Amino acid sequence: MKEPLWQREADAVPEAAEPSPAVAETQGDYLSAGPPEAPARGEKKQKKQSKAGARIFYWVMFALPLAQFLLCYVAVNFNSILLAFKETFVVRDAQGVQYVSEFVGFDTIWRFLSVELTSKVYTVAVKNSVIYLVFSIAVVIPVGLIFSYYIFKKYRFAEFYRVFLFLPSVICSLIMVIFYSYLVDLSIPEFWQMLTGTRPEGLLTTKATAFGALVFFSFWFSFGPSSLVYVNAMSQIDPSVLEAAELDGAVGLRQFRSVVLPMIFPSITSYIIICVAQVAVNQLNGFSFYGTGASDYEAQTLGYNLFAVLQGAEQNRSYSIAAAGGIVLTLIVAPLTFLVRWLLEKFGPSED
Amino acid sequence: MARKNKISAFSVIVGILLGFYVFSILFLFLWALLNSLKTAEEFDFGTLSFPGSLNFNNYIVAFFQGFSKQVASGETMRYVYIEEMFLYSILYAGGGALCQVTATCIAAYLTAKYRNVFSRFMHGVIIITMILPIVGALPSQIQIFDALGLRGSFLGVYVMKFGFTNIYYLIFYGAFRSMPDGYAEAARIDGANHFQVFFRIMLPLVSTLCGVVFLIFFIEYWNDYQTPMIFLDNNPVLAWGLYEFFKSYDQALSTPTVKIAGGIIVLLPLLVLFLVFKKKLMGNLTEGGIKS
């Protein structure tokens, strides 16, 4: 019988090593385990009480997290679907301004598809999002892996480099945005002028270079958390495998390509899937750099557009178009994510 | 004796590239520090030069005037300044991180140790929510929180953060699954109930992991300004204050040197936090917990 998707994911939990048979014998299910060494007399009653106690504990502890999940995931997403089929109308009467939501069928979704998605703003956003996705998979992930391999092998100054790989992810991205924006808009043109005598416009305030500057910013400060995960995954490789490879002459790049990469491929798969899943969510810090004006420099992405629309929607409570956009993009990105996952599992390298 | 790694062309090239990378980060911070000490005239003259003298006026302006936001207070308006923003940041980041760690730990423990049908179902649901991308649920969340009166309050934010569908669920789950039942059995022989087993036996065993995950969430929420912008509009946090400061066109605040100084002011607590806890933050999350 084919394993359900969630079961495979459950089995792929990296640190959930299955206990040894000796330990497994002692590991039970707290829900059904009775009191150990219970006396014969009244044993049935004690077992019943213990099971009841376990159930009370289970449901009392799970109550709040479950309620939060039902509210903030199930209800929110259900309402999001409903919103996509509604429209908000502004009604002015004697009592003032009223916002009335009504079901309009597929009108809002159709408006998003026919008007919004085909507009120049969204066309550029789709193009930018896809470009960044390809860049992430083709450049950011490989460079992160190479850096992580250097840290894992503890080559010279590895610990020192590790601190600086991780540091930008700790610091508020807004701080880096402030420093970076003045650096590329003022200092780099100034430096270019010193070299060539001509001063170009700032990189973030020129249409031709704005998106590239955003991409470079994301690339420059993206290595931290992923490097932790990659180094951790590399640490799980049996040292004898690496020693055997070294004895066969596989060192440096050869060892990285032929031994390490296949063995940590599940971690790489996770990051590729995250990149694909976030293609419609990633703002590339556009809002931090430009506020609602990124489209003036053609630096917007799909994630930026959705957030910027929401900022505008606040004024007239018209969340429907943003919800409709979210539903449409989910219906495109979700199957794409599962497809990429399937392709990577089917055609990716294996430990063998 | 530790084996030395063989030096190869690959390691030399990557080492040099990493060196350039570290240099670029250090250059950026040094550049920001030097420019924060310049006057506006010095900055206009050149951004790649050293300051003529150490001018801390930018920091004074940034600290006392930069971080201010007008918010509604009943029927009136009032200003919130940096001290109050700092407090709101602590409440948002600390409270949010605590809620997230608590919910994640509880859910992972229950699904790992109480293996009934519902636990298996929830485990599967959590895995699916992690890989299924849901785009654009924010408008719906705003509407629901508005309807429930949760928007604009810390209670609402804590409700939002009391979730367990995050990557650290898997780490907690793995930790609890690999824990032998000997501890719990010994406690039950001594008469402990399930609550006591969890709070007095299991929770202390994952306390280090809880601490590290708390730190990670704390840093994430400390740096977040978009969620407070939407859900805590009358309680601006420091990151949001910095965003407003950065976008300000106020004459006294629009000088780049003042804005860079403002960025350094917000940077310092995080830098201290990182330097103190860097081993924990960068360590192996699977370590810690049970003593062998």
Give the pLDDT confidence of A36-84 residue by residue, as tens digits.
444 556 677 777 777 888 999 999 999 999 999 999 999 999 998 898 8
A179 and A77 inside one domain: no
- Asked if B135 reaches chain A (Cβ–Cβ under 8 Å), the answer is yes
B140 to chain A: which residues are within 8 Å by CB? 76-77, 79-80, 83, 319, 323
A80 and A181 inside one domain: no
Give the pLDDT confidence score for residue B34 in this predicted structure. Answer: 95
Alpha helix positions (H), A72-172: 76-84, 107-111, 120-135, 141-152, 158-170
Q: What Cα–Cα distance (Å) separates residue A129 from each residue in A109, A163, A285?
A: 21, 30, 13
Give the pLDDT confidence score for residue A271 in this predicted structure. Answer: 84
- State both tokens at A83: 């919103």
Average pLDDT score over chain A: 82
What range defines the domain where residue A152 resides? Answer: 117-347
State pTM to two decimals: 0.82
Domain boundary among A105, A132, A159: A105
Higher pLDDT, residue A348 or B229: B229
In the block, which residue shows the tokens 């508005």?
B146
Q: Do A329 and B135 touch (CB under 8 A)?
A: yes
Nearest to A162 among B7, B178, B282 (CB): B282
ipTM of the shown complex: 0.86
Give the pLDDT confidence score for residue A177 in this predicted structure. Answer: 93
Q: How many CB atoms lie within 10 A of CB A224?
A: 19
Specify the DSSP element, H or E, that contains A92: strand A86-93
Three-class SS state of B208: helix
Is residue A11 situated within a structural domain? no
Nearest-Cα distance to chain A for B130, in Å, is 9
Q: Do A187 and B170 touch (CB under 8 A)?
A: no
Q: Do B114 and A54 touch (CB under 8 A)?
A: yes
Please give the Cα distance from A67 to B159 (Å, whole number). Answer: 10
Domain boundary among A76, A105, A134: A105
Non-local (6+) Cβ contacts of A334 within 8 A are B132, B133
Nearest to B142 among A64, A150, A319 (CB): A319
Is residue A269 situated within a structural domain? yes
Residues of chain B with pLDDT under 50: 1-3, 286-292
Nearest to A323 among B139, B219, B271 (CB): B139
Average pLDDT score over chain B: 88
Please give the Cα distance from B64 to B70 (Å, whole number). Answer: 15
State mean pLDDT over A111-130: 90
pLDDT at A31 over 60: no
**Is residue A318 very low, low, confident or very high in pLDDT (cuts 50, 70, 90)?**
low
- Asked if B150 reaches chain A (Cβ–Cβ under 8 Å), the answer is no
Higher pLDDT, residue A221 or A133: A133
Q: Do B124 and A62 touch (CB under 8 A)?
A: no
Q: Which is it for the CA torsion B204, B208, B213, B217, positive or negative?
A: positive
Nearest-Cα distance to chain B for A29, in Å, is 5
Nearest-Cα distance to chain A for B139, in Å, is 5
Q: Which residue of A has its CA nearest to B184?
A: A30
Is residue A27 situated within a structural domain? no
Nearest to B15 among A150, A170, A291 (CB): A150
Is residue A150 situated within a structural domain? yes
A275 and A319 inside one domain: yes
A261 and A126 inside one domain: yes
Q: Do A16 and B194 touch (CB under 8 A)?
A: no
Please give the Cα distance from B223 to B97 (Å, whole number). Answer: 12
A182 and A152 inside one domain: yes
A237 and A157 inside one domain: yes
Q: Do A30 and B114 touch (CB under 8 A)?
A: yes
Q: How many CB atoms lie within 10 A of CB B211?
A: 14
Q: Which residue of A has its CA nearest to B167?
A: A13
**Is residue A6 very low, low, confident or very high in pLDDT (cuts 50, 70, 90)?**
very low
A100 and A163 inside one domain: no
Tell which residue, B276, B218, B252, has the closest CA to residue B62. B252
Q: Which residue of A has its CA nearest to B265?
A: A175
A148 and A87 inside one domain: no
Answer whether B36's CB lies under 8 Å from B257's CB.
yes
Give the pLDDT confidence score for residue A126 in this predicted structure. Answer: 93
Nearest-Cα distance to chain B for A61, in Å, is 7
Q: Do B219 and A170 touch (CB under 8 A)?
A: yes
Give the pLDDT confidence score for residue A181 in this predicted structure. Answer: 94
Answer whether A331's CB lies under 8 Å from A323's CB.
no
Is residue A168 situated within a structural domain? yes
R_g over Cα of chain A: 27
Nearest-Cα distance to chain B for A23, in Å, is 7
State mean pLDDT over A181-206: 93
Please give the Cα distance from A168 to B269 (Å, whole number). Answer: 14
Is residue A324 situated within a structural domain? yes
In DSSP notation, B20-46 reads HHHHHHHHHHHHHHHHHTS-HHHHHH-
Domain boundary among A105, A134, A163: A105
A331 and A254 inside one domain: yes
- Half-sphere exposure in the Cβ direction for A308 (13 Å, CA): 25
Between chain A and chain B, how many beta carbons pairs sit less than 8 Å apart?
Answer: 309
- Asked if B163 reaches chain A (Cβ–Cβ under 8 Å), the answer is yes
Q: How many CB atoms lie within 10 A of CB B164?
A: 27
- Asked if B193 reaches chain A (Cβ–Cβ under 8 Å), the answer is yes
Q: Do A36 and B32 touch (CB under 8 A)?
A: no
State mean pLDDT over A171-179: 90
What is the CATH classification number for the domain harbouring A224?
1.10.3720.10
Amino acid at B106: I
Q: Do A10 and B116 touch (CB under 8 A)?
A: no
Give the pLDDT confidence score for residue B261 in this predicted structure. Answer: 93
Nearest-Cα distance to chain B for A82, in Å, is 9
A160 and A83 inside one domain: no
Q: Do B242 and A172 touch (CB under 8 A)?
A: yes
Higher pLDDT, residue A283 or A8: A283
A290 and A181 inside one domain: yes
Percent of chain A exceeding pLDDT 70 equals 85
Beta strand A86-93 with A96-103: parallel, antiparallel or unpaired?
Answer: antiparallel
Give the bridge partners for A338, in sequence order: none
Nearest-Cα distance to chain B for A122, in Å, is 15
Q: Which is it for the CA torsion B54, B56, B59, B65, positive or negative?
A: negative
Is residue A186 situated within a structural domain? yes
Nearest to A182 among B22, B260, B284 (CB): B260
Q: Do A36 and B185 touch (CB under 8 A)?
A: yes
Q: How many structural domains compose chain A? A: 2
- State both tokens at B233: 């509009």
User: Chain-centre distance of CA B136, in angstroms?
Assistant: 22
Is residue A48 situated within a structural domain? no
A256 and A332 inside one domain: yes
Q: Do A323 and B160 touch (CB under 8 A)?
A: no
Give the pLDDT confidence score for residue A293 in this predicted structure. Answer: 87
